[in-house]
Amino acid sequence: MLSMEIELIELVNILIAGIVCWINFVVVDTFFGLPKKPGVAGADVIGKKIAKVGGNLNGGYFMGNIVCSPDASAGTLFASIFYYVLGSKGALIASLLIYIGNRLCNDPGYAGTIGAITATILIYLFSGFMEPQYFIGGMVLAIFSIQGFHHTYASKILGNIAKKMGMI
């Protein structure tokens, strides 16, 4: 009975971390204009293909940008992993690696770096009652909800969020 209670608590922690991670990376990436236009090579193709199957073009651009360059989704995942392994200093190393990755991809933006930094802050703030490993699982769920579940529906949600934030 005790192990089922522990498993339930772990599942709840992963879900909470997933919601926090999802909000972090979607807000940061939207703020930095990922739904507005394709920022790197390949994002345009992905956005147009998603729109062609009934999705939202701007949401498709968002999805294409996070596939083709390390944006806030990658920043949040890297920060979670590095925080778990090396603590808060490790998460800051992750921010530097994401920054370098953006430059290597010829990405002019800073969404990935800022996403890693905000994730580091969030993990630190939650550290009193939630361990960093839950953010790794939570971020995997957050990425899956955007990239792996249903492209058409996800692109429409992302497009609507960008519209409500005044970014498109």
Domain that holds residue 17: 2-164
Whether residue 56 is predicted with pLDDT greater than 90 in this model: the reply is: yes
Q: What is the pLDDT of residues 5-35, one digit of tens each?
A: 778 999 999 999 999 999 999 999 999 998 9
What digits encode the pLDDT tens for the residues 60-89? Answer: 999 998 888 888 999 999 999 999 999 999
Instruction: Please check the confidence at residue 3 and state whether its pLDDT lies above 90.
Output: no
- CB-based contacts of 43, cutoff 8 Å, min separation 6: 61, 64, 65, 67, 68, 69
Closest CA to 24 of 88, 93, 120: 120
Tokens 């392994």 belong to 85
What is the chain's mean pLDDT, rounded? 92
Backbone angles phi, psi at 9, to 5 degrees: -65, -40
Instruction: State how many domains the chain has.
Output: 1
- 92-141 pLDDT per residue, tens: 999 999 999 888 887 777 999 999 999 999 999 999 999 999 999 999 99
pLDDT confidence of 2, banded at 50, 70, 90?
Answer: low
